[in-house]
Amino acid sequence: MSGSLEYGVSLYSYTGEYGVTMTLDDCIEDVADLGATGLEILGEAHIEDYPNPPTAWLDAWFERLDRFGLTPTCYGSWVDHRRFPGRDITEDEAVQQLETDIRLAARLGFKYVRPKLGVVTADLEPHPVWEPATLRVLDLAEQQDVIICPEIHWPSVIRSKVVDDYIALIERTGTKHFGLLMDTGVFQTSMHHRSGGVPSRMGRGSARPPITPVVPVSDLEDVLQHVVHVQAKFYEIDDELQDHYIPWAEFLEVLVRRGWSGFLSSEYEGDYATGRAADQLRRQHALLRTLVAKETS
Amino acid sequence: MSGSLEYGVSLYSYTGEYGVTMTLDDCIEDVADLGATGLEILGEAHIEDYPNPPTAWLDAWFERLDRFGLTPTCYGSWVDHRRFPGRDITEDEAVQQLETDIRLAARLGFKYVRPKLGVVTADLEPHPVWEPATLRVLDLAEQQDVIICPEIHWPSVIRSKVVDDYIALIERTGTKHFGLLMDTGVFQTSMHHRSGGVPSRMGRGSARPPITPVVPVSDLEDVLQHVVHVQAKFYEIDDELQDHYIPWAEFLEVLVRRGWSGFLSSEYEGDYATGRAADQLRRQHALLRTLVAKETS
Amino acid sequence: MLDTTMIQTRGFKNTPGGFELRLRLPYYRGLWAGLIEGVTVTVDGETFAPEDAHWTIGELRGPLREIAASESARWPVDVAAVIGLRRDQPLSIGFHDVAAELAIQMSYIPEELQPTLWTEQRRLVVSR
Amino acid sequence: MLDTTMIQTRGFKNTPGGFELRLRLPYYRGLWAGLIEGVTVTVDGETFAPEDAHWTIGELRGPLREIAASESARWPVDVAAVIGLRRDQPLSIGFHDVAAELAIQMSYIPEELQPTLWTEQRRLVVSR
Ligand SMILES: [Mn+2]
Ligand SMILES: [Mn+2]
């Protein structure tokens, strides 16, 4: 089975530049300029007056897609279960949030919606509202022709209860509108420490996040049939066009051998120095295209 | 005689940021935010589709003046006598350029127009077209209620043939629509070497600019009665709020003692690092206001 | 456009009865107002409590708890918030050491590790 | 917005029959097109003569001498120009050393010191 890999960029990559040195126009133009065809956004970051963008914003959105020849890929959303101080959101509120984003994503032409779910325990168990709320919006997803795809994201790993539960939901319901989003940060072989940005720390107490094991790329084989979108998370491509954090050759070998089709949507998460995102994205696309050309030749 | 000093900023100050980290909106908002009331621009830098700004640009211009409580002070213009390759501009063309800028400046509400004149010799003699062309636009300046004020700018000095010729023109014609603009860079006590920006050099030959003497602030006394506007050129205010390049105390002492009225319009010309212009302008205004308060108390 | 820093250069100034400063959200997306716990501002060692801060986020104005009472209230990622604080004397012309600690709830981080605290100190100028 | 550098990151790429790159005016104001003498581009040691450059400045397109034939033609300071150059082979995917020397007439500097030359070298990536 022969797959087709396409190249995209998530505007998350421009976090250090967005609103500082780059407008939304600049970001979208940059994605097209570097030769990508897939455009990923974060609803709560990039849509003016989210979740109710003005007509002028919508007009500009479609005009840009057309002018730059870009296809909307994935729309990032959040289910913030601590949104109301003092209590967790209810199932109805979670459904409402999901519906809002599914409708808005579909309206903008996206095929994938990634809801980021809240966690309730130190070992990153998702808030229990995820499953009933998801089940209640599957029909809307079908009607709007989008696939809901929670993200497998560091420090979560592939072999975990949460991923098993996602797959069980797919198998139990037989839905075509739920899948997995694979963030390649899961496969990082060493930890990148970003420079720049405003210093932050977690909490006022002494709790610390868990130590995360290195996830072998081979773990991807077990779940790949359910992966509908890849966020090609990366931190730094060096001056020799090498990435010392993400094992791209191994990762792409699996995708090509298995004939996986879909978008590799770049998520730059490295240093914040001005101008670095645009340069690093070009380096990554040069690296990915070079490796894929080798795999497929 | 008691004068009144007012504080302004020239958008020239944001050269390192304009179009990079700051829009025109940002620049104008910053001027108001730092407590200035006078706004100076460069026609050829800041006016969209110069010299024919669209209606929307004009509307936004007046809306901002109103919202931020800013008064247009000086409009910088150029008479580029080498504008047409292979020949100098004619007197008619110089008149046309001056007329264009006088009309546009007046339309935007400016009171002063600074034409930057081309030079023809190594000792900075202005192109001879300046005098007949100026004489031909004095009536228009009167009609448009603006004062034409060529700039005394480093490496030119106050005691020079060109300044004598300017004053002679005023005395001979008795015009109220021609004056002098004093750029405080003339009084620099040492040379600042700016870092950042794109490296440039003059020419492919071996010619080098003249060595410029230090101009004592006392020279200002001779010409002050003709000075209609001050560009408060500066390079760096240090972490103790001291300026080691421009002798502000001496300069302001003369202005206050002589009862000079008008705008001190800041021209930051220091290092180009991002964010530096906005910080340095605030330092300079803090310094100028502190010194003036001392002089007048 | 915004400064990279959380505390913006533009916006720090005396106001009638106090002073104000501007903060950007040092995060990659906008947030529902209820996720913002508050900001503690310190100027030259003088600390201003989060509950005394008057917030302006675009058209939204008031104490944070009043702003967050509207379920649709958001802090967009590309909009700086103006934080107004009361002070008897105006800040002097010249340099001031300004610090801010912004506390936010990140739903996808376990609660025992929350709030996430962003802290920054800058030397800013009062220019008039 | 523009990069601080004269040679912009955005815009360097292969085109049918050659490649292009974008330049900003590294100056503080826009200029009448007749004041621009030209740009010499070098990629990995291969030099492209100024007279072979195809310019695009907003709506204006063509060799510089044709653009400057219109007396109203300008290069605004906040608009990057696209410089198109012919090349038989596309540039390879990966890094390239790109240099540009931009020559401009400054009327207020004595002619014997002109043109003013801005030079810059950057390492840019062809990404596809
Ligand atoms: Mn991701
Ligand atoms: Mn000046």
Q: In the predicted model, is pLDDT for residue B1 greater than 60? A: no
| Average pLDDT rounded to a whole number, residues D26-37 | 97
A8, A230 contact by CB (below 8 A): no
Extract the tokens encoding B171: 């005395």
Range of the domain at D68: 13-126
**Is A290–D93 a contact, with Cβ atoms under 8 angstroms apart?**
yes
- Of B118, B199, B202, which has the smallest distance from its Cβ to D107's Cβ? B118
C-alpha span between B161 and B156 (Å, rounded):
10
3-state SS, residue C48 = strand
The whole-number pLDDT of residue A122 equals 75
The whole-number pLDDT of residue B203 equals 83
**Is B272–D4 a contact, with Cβ atoms under 8 angstroms apart?**
yes
| Average pLDDT rounded to a whole number, residues B61-74 | 98
Q: Decide: residue B99, CB within 10 A, 0-12 exposed, 13-18 middle, 19+ buried.
A: middle
| Average pLDDT rounded to a whole number, residues B8-29 | 98
Residue B119 pLDDT grade (very low, low, confident, very high; cuts 50, 70, 90): confident
B81 is annotated as an active-site residue: no
**D35: which DSSP letter?**
G
| Average pLDDT rounded to a whole number, residues A93-112 | 98
The whole-number pLDDT of residue A199 equals 92
Residue B227 has, within 13 A of its CA and on its CB side, a CA count of 27
More confidently predicted of B120 and D91: D91
Where in chain A are the domains? 5-296
Extract the tokens encoding C89: 């004397």
- Return the bridge partners of A124, or none: none
Residue B189 pLDDT grade (very low, low, confident, very high; cuts 50, 70, 90): very high
Extract the tokens encoding B251: 């300069």
Residue A207 pLDDT grade (very low, low, confident, very high; cuts 50, 70, 90): confident
Q: Looking at the complex, report in whole angstroms how far the Cα of residue A35 sits from the nearest Cα belonging to chain B.
A: 23
Q: Does B21 touch chain D (CB under 8 A)?
A: yes
Q: Which residues of B touch D30 (CB under 8 A)?
A: 44-45, 50
The whole-number pLDDT of residue D103 equals 97
Expressed in angstroms, the distance from the first to the final Cα of chain C is: 23
**Is A278–D126 a contact, with Cβ atoms under 8 angstroms apart?**
no
Q: In the predicted model, is pLDDT for residue A1 greater than 70? A: no
Q: Which residues of B touch D117 (CB under 8 A)?
A: 200-204
| Average pLDDT rounded to a whole number, residues A129-148 | 98
Distance of CA C48 to CAs B123, C84, C121, Å? Answer: 59, 10, 14
C-alpha span between B38 and A214 (Å, rounded):
60
Best probe of the A interface among B20, B21, B23, by most A CBs < 10 A, is B21
| Average pLDDT rounded to a whole number, residues A135-151 | 98
CATH number of domain containing D42: 2.60.40
C-alpha span between A37 and C53 (Å, rounded):
45
Query: If you search the block for the tokens 């950042």, which residue do you land on?
Result: B196
Extract the tokens encoding A180: 């997995």
Neighbours of A135 (CB within 10 A): 15
Percentage, residues of chain A above pLDDT 90 = 90
The whole-number pLDDT of residue A213 equals 82
Domain B5-296 has CATH 3.40.50.150: no
**C28: which DSSP letter?**
S
With a CB cutoff of 8 Å and minimum separation 6, the contacts of A203 are C112, C113, C114, C115, C116, C117
What does the DSSP assignment read for B231-254?
EEEES-B-TTS-BSSS-HHHHHHH
Instruction: Give residue-wise pLDDT tens across range A238-276.
Output: 999 999 999 999 999 999 999 999 999 999 999 999 999
Percentage, residues of chain B above pLDDT 90 = 90
Extract the tokens encoding B217: 């602030």
Pairing of strands B227-234, B262-268: parallel
Find the helix packing angle between A91-107 and A130-144, rounded to 10°: 30
Residue A2 pLDDT grade (very low, low, confident, very high; cuts 50, 70, 90): low
Q: Which residues of B touch A21 (CB under 8 A)?
A: 20-21
What's the order of all strands across the beta sheet hosting A200-202?
A: A200-202, C116-126, C94-104, C36-43, C46-48
| Least confident span in A210-214, B15-19, B181-185, C114-118 | A210-214
> Is the backbone of residue B95 left (phi > 0), alpha (psi -120 to 50) or beta?
alpha
3-state SS, residue B144 = helix
Neighbours of A142 (CB within 10 A): 13
Query: If you search the block for the tokens 């990140």, which residue do you land on?
Result: C106
Q: In the predicted model, is pLDDT for residue B217 greater than 60? A: yes
Instruction: Indicate the number of domains in chain D.
Output: 1
Percentage, residues of chain C above pLDDT 70 = 100
Residue B14 pLDDT grade (very low, low, confident, very high; cuts 50, 70, 90): very high
Helix residue ranges, H only, A118-247: 130-144, 161-173, 219-223
| Average pLDDT rounded to a whole number, residues B245-262 | 98
C-alpha span between D78 and D84 (Å, rounded):
19
The whole-number pLDDT of residue C71 equals 93
Q: Does B274 touch chain A (CB under 8 A)?
A: yes
At A38, give phi and psi (nearest 5°): -110, 135
The whole-number pLDDT of residue B2 equals 64
Q: Decide: residue A197, CB within 10 A, 0-12 exposed, 13-18 middle, 19+ buried.
A: middle
A15, A278 contact by CB (below 8 A): no
> Is the backbone of residue B129 left (phi > 0), alpha (psi -120 to 50) or beta?
alpha
3-state SS, residue B10 = strand
Distance of CA B254 to CAs B18, B185, B233, B288, Å? Answer: 34, 16, 17, 13
Residue B297 pLDDT grade (very low, low, confident, very high; cuts 50, 70, 90): confident
Q: Which residues of A touch B274 (CB under 8 A)?
A: 274
Q: Decide: residue B253, CB within 10 A, 0-12 exposed, 13-18 middle, 19+ buried.
A: middle
| Average pLDDT rounded to a whole number, residues A273-288 | 98
- Return the bridge partners of A115, or none: A77
| Average pLDDT rounded to a whole number, residues A200-228 | 88
A131, A169 contact by CB (below 8 A): yes
Q: Which residues of C touch A207 (CB under 8 A)?
A: 110, 112-113
C4, C73 contact by CB (below 8 A): no
What's the order of all strands across the beta sheet hosting C81-86?
A: C13-15, C18-23, C81-86, C54-57, C60-63
The whole-number pLDDT of residue A256 equals 97
| Average pLDDT rounded to a whole number, residues A98-117 | 97
| Average pLDDT rounded to a whole number, residues C115-121 | 97
Instruction: Give residue-wise pLDDT tens across range B161-177.
Output: 999 999 999 999 999 99
| Least confident span in A17-31, B32-46, D102-116 | D102-116
Residue A123 pLDDT grade (very low, low, confident, very high; cuts 50, 70, 90): confident
| Average pLDDT rounded to a whole number, residues B134-159 | 96
Q: Does B213 touch chain D (CB under 8 A)?
A: no
Distance of CA A72 to CAs A75, A269, B128, Å? Answer: 8, 21, 61
Q: Looking at the complex, report in whole angstroms how far the Cα of residue B191 sits from the nearest Cα belonging to chain A.
A: 30
The whole-number pLDDT of residue C34 equals 97
Tell me which residues have their CB within 5 A of the ion that is ligand 1: A 183, 231, 267
Pairing of strands A112-117, A71-79: parallel
Q: In the predicted model, is pLDDT for residue A72 greater than 90? A: yes
C-alpha span between A112 and A42 (Å, rounded):
12
**Is D128–A278 a contact, with Cβ atoms under 8 angstroms apart?**
no
Q: Decide: residue C44, CB within 10 A, 0-12 exposed, 13-18 middle, 19+ buried.
A: exposed
Ligand with the closest atom to the CA of A232: 1
Instruction: Give residue-wise pLDDT tens across range C60-113.
Output: 999 999 999 999 999 999 999 999 999 999 999 999 999 999 999 998 888 888
Distance of CA A91 to CAs A96, A142, A163, D41, Å? Answer: 9, 20, 21, 61
Residue B214 pLDDT grade (very low, low, confident, very high; cuts 50, 70, 90): confident
Residue C5: inside a domain? no
CA A267 – ligand 1 centroid, Å: 6
Inter-chain Cβ pairs, chain A and chain D, closer than 8 A: 51
| Least confident span in A145-154, B132-141, B202-211 | B202-211
Of residues C95, C92, C88, the one with CA closest to residue C48:
C88
Residue A3 pLDDT grade (very low, low, confident, very high; cuts 50, 70, 90): confident
| Least confident span in A6-15, B22-31, D101-110 | D101-110
